[in-house]
């Protein structure tokens, strides 16, 4: 089995082959996603929401990201593991950004990091790439800036913001990011960016005319009944499957029918 690398991403863009990416934050789920054949697993800072119940991604720390990422790396045989640099880990200074990116790579064993933002973080991202660390950019809706945006609404609908996004995307490709995630922007804008860049553009809520797609694993498996934005397709309704199974277990324990004679020593 050939491991997916940043060279694979490059080749897939050149061949017009779509890249599939899903998030995972633990060993068991990462093993299942890898077995399902996804090209890349993102250890997103959405772990703050999905695994820890926070309402934003802001509270998660570098140590917690490393904890999640190292579990994922231990499970994965093929997919490229990308780890989000969490809020506060790269914004303060270029030196802090490099130090934290190095820690994430060294202590998790992942293959790349992802960083939200454009021009403001050009130097920070450049320095991380210069340190030999592959970087995925992230533009459009960048959840770490939720308080600046005032919510999670679609981004870059207006001309000025769309223009800024295009110039940030070109800049990120020019300084050496090997891929770009674009979140919740008009599909036509995402298509334009994808066609203009030499690196793959992976969309989430950005339409189908990009080079790949990413979703939160728990969202596409239907594990969260209360979160269903338009861009999420549930490929399974695991919330119902799990609660049904737990209810059957509960009933059997209470009825004294579990364990059976065959299930004991």
Q: Which residues are catalytic?
A: 183
Residue 20 CB contacts under 8 Å (≥ 6 apart), including other chains: 37, 38, 39, 40, 212, 213
Among 4, 22, 24, 46, binds ligand KIV (CB under 6 A): 46
The sign of the CA dihedral 128, 134, 139, 145 is negative
Report DSSP letters for 113-147, one per residue.
EEEE-SGGGHHHHHHHHHTT--EEEEEES-GGGHH
Q: Cβ-closest residue to ligand KIV?
A: 44
Question: Does residue 84 bind ligand KIV (CB under 6 A)?
Answer: yes
Query: Are 42 and 21 a contacting pair, CB within 8 Å?
Result: yes
Question: Does residue 62 bind ligand KIV (CB under 6 A)?
Answer: no
How many residues at the interface with ligand KIV, by CB under 6 A? 11
Question: Does residue 44 bind ligand KIV (CB under 6 A)?
Answer: yes
Residue 117 structure tokens: 């933002």
Question: Does residue 45 bind ligand KIV (CB under 6 A)?
Answer: yes
Among 181, 182, 201, 210, binds ligand KIV (CB under 6 A): 181
According to DSSP, residue 2 is labeled P
Report the alpha-carbon distance of residue 144 to residue 50 in Å, rounded.
15
Among 30, 104, 204, 221, binds ligand KIV (CB under 6 A): 204
Report the alpha-carbon distance of residue 173 to residue 179 in Å, rounded.
8
CB of 127 to ligand KIV, least distance (A): 21
Per CB under 6 A, which region of 41-49, 70-78, 146-154, 186-194 contacts ligand KIV? 41-49
Residue numbers at the binding site for ligand KIV (CB under 6 A)? 23, 42, 44-46, 84, 181, 183, 204, 214, 216
């Amino acid at each position: 089995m050939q491991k997916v690398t940043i060279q694979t991403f490059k080749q897939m863009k050149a061949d017009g082959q779509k890249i599939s990416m899903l998030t995972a934050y633990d060993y068991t789920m990462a093993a299942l996603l890898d077995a399902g054949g996804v090209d890349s697993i993102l250890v997103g800072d959405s772990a703050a929401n999905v695994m820890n119940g926070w309402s934003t991604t802001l509270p998660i720390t570098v140590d917690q990201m490393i904890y999640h990422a190292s579990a994922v790396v231990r499970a994965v045989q093929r997919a490229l593991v990308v780890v989000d640099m969490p809020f506060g880990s790269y914004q303060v200074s270029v030196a802090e950004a490099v130090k934290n990116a190095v820690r994430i790579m060294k202590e998790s064993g992942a293959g790349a990091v992802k960083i939200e933002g454009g021009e403001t973080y050009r130097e920070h991202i450049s320095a991380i790439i210069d340190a030999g660390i592959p970087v995925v950019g992230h533009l459009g809706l960048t959840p770490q800036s939720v308080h600046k945006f005032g919510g999670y609404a679609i981004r870059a609908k207006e001309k000025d913001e769309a223009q800024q996004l295009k110039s940030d995307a070109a800049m990120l490709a020019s300084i050496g990011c090997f891929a770009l995630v674009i979140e919740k922007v008009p599909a036509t804008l995402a298509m334009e960016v994808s066609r203009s860049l030499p690196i793959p553009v992976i969309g989430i809520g950005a339409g189908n005319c990009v080079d790949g797609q990413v979703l939160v694993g728990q969202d596409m498996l239907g594990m969260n009944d209360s979160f269903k934005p338009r861009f999420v397709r549930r490929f399974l309704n695991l919330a119902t499957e799990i609660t049904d199974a737990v209810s059957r277990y509960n009933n059997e324990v209470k009825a004294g029918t579990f364990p059976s004679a065959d299930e004991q020593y």
